[in-house]
Structure 1
Amino acid sequence: MDKYLIVGLGNPGDEYAETRHNTGFMVLDAFAKASNIVFADRRYGFVGETSLKGRKVFLLKPTTFMNLSGNAVRYWLNQENIDQSRLLVVSDDVALPLGSFRLKGNGSNGGHNGLGHIQQLIGQNYARLRMGIGNDYPVGSQIDHVLGRFSTEEREHLQPTIDLTVDIIKSFVLAGVDVTMNQYNKLGKTPVWQKQTKQE
């Protein structure tokens, strides 16, 4: 059976819950909820399992803290003997507007500490889904921004995109990264909530 590892990046602990830097956790929580998956506290992270049309899917929310995310990713790839081409990492990205997203088959870490540590340990040849959290913060305040919580309005703007990621993850598993990029990246250029606003 083909195995896939879907990793949502974030920091463990209540003080980091629902912060912008934990957008990856929020995406995996949404996927788990839609698929009735329960996470268990395992080595290096909270892990959930499901299957999609004969493919085994592991969900991982690392408990290593963001800067050491690579430890969890490398461990679970090895533990379950999962090919790196079947790894998808979901992260926040300040370079993208809130609610937009971009799926890539490989590439640099873009200055993201979690992606940076993964790259140190396994290289940069893996798929990543970057979720826009915007960069509306004063110069020098990036850390406060990413570790801050979304406002109610921001959360409402982000939710349609999080809902869409459930389909993106399924497509990645069933159709592969190239097909999924072609199908969804054009939708990610403009935040979903802005499109909805225009339609109303």
Structure 2
Amino acid sequence: MIKLLVGLGNPGQQYEKTRHNAGFLFLDHLMDSKGGGWSVSQQFQGQVANISVAGMRLDMLKPMTFMNKSGLSVGKMLRYYKLKPEELLVVHDELELPEGVVKMKRDGGHAGHNGLRDIIAHIDTRDFFRLRIGIGRPAMGANVADYVLSKPSAQGFSLLDAAFSLLEGHIESLAAADISMINDRLAR
């Protein structure tokens, strides 16, 4: 069972709606649909909230440490609540998936994603769940950093929003870490 849902992104208005902030965008979508709000936590160096899923509390975290230092915030929250890494689901952008395609997995490397790299370093394991939100790849020869830190097109936003709505409809399966259901129903 997932007890901590972490969305990865960068704080600040200039990053607000960028591809790299797909994790923040999904958690914000959930909070908007549930009518909740975020609280600033100095202790966890992030914004925190919680929702109820099937009668269980699901804590949520948006690290405000910038992407490359996400592990600091995540590690503090895991230790404070005495959570196991397998109770963690990290939502992040994924270049290797087309825009709006969602896949869930457990374990694995960081595949060059600096947010995942820092989390692995801080919690000393790769054994946690990941929800990969497809943002597509930039055109051949384009700068990857510029691409991930830019805003998607209107169609790209529409694809992300549709994926977020589908995920919201399957939040119980997500919280139960039902990888096959999420991948079978949501991978297009």
TM-score by length of 2: 0.92
CA distance in 2, matches of 1:35, 1:159: 16
CA distance in 2, matches of 1:108, 1:166: 26
Number of residue pairs the alignment of both structures matches: 185
Structure with the bigger percentage of helix: 1
* Map of 2:183 onto structure 1: 185
Q: Percent identity?
A: 35
* Map of 2:113 onto structure 1: 112
Secondary structure in 2 matching 1:96? coil
Alignment pair present for 1:88 and 2:89: yes
- 1:137 touches 1:145 (CA, 8 Å); kept in 2? no
Q: Residue 3 of structure 1: CA displacement?
A: 7.3
* Map of 2:73 onto structure 1: 72
1:66 corresponds to which letter in structure 2?
A: M
- 1:10 touches 1:21 (CA, 8 Å); kept in 2? yes
CA distance in 1, matches of 2:121, 2:83: 18
> 1:75–1:168: structure 2 CA closer, same or farther, 3 Å change rule?
farther
Alignment pair present for 1:156 and 2:158: yes
* Map of 2:36 onto structure 1: 37
* Map of 1:24 onto structure 2: 23
Q: Which runs of 4+ in 1 moved over 6 A?
A: none
CA distance in 1, matches of 2:37, 2:24: 14
Deviation readout 1:27-72 (Å, 9 max, x if unpaired): 0001111222210011210000222233221110100000000001
CA distance in 1, matches of 2:57, 2:84: 12
CA distance in 1, matches of 2:89, 2:150: 25
Question: Please, which runs of 5 or more residues in structure 2 have no aligned partner?
Answer: none
Q: CA RMSD in A?
A: 1.6
Q: Residue 86 of structure 1: CA displacement?
A: 1.2
CA distance in 2, matches of 1:106, 1:167: 24
CA distance in 2, matches of 1:65, 1:10: 7
CA distance in 1, matches of 2:187, 2:98: 9
> 1:50–1:189: structure 2 CA closer, same or farther, 3 Å change rule?
closer
2:13 corresponds to which letter in structure 1?
A: D
1:115 corresponds to which letter in structure 2?
A: L
CA distance in 2, matches of 1:22, 1:66: 9
> 1:104–1:3: structure 2 CA closer, same or farther, 3 Å change rule?
closer
- 1:68 touches 1:114 (CA, 8 Å); kept in 2? yes
Secondary structure in 2 matching 1:102? strand
* Map of 2:148 onto structure 1: 146
- 1:27 touches 1:166 (CA, 8 Å); kept in 2? no
Range that drifts further, 21-30 or 82-91: 82-91
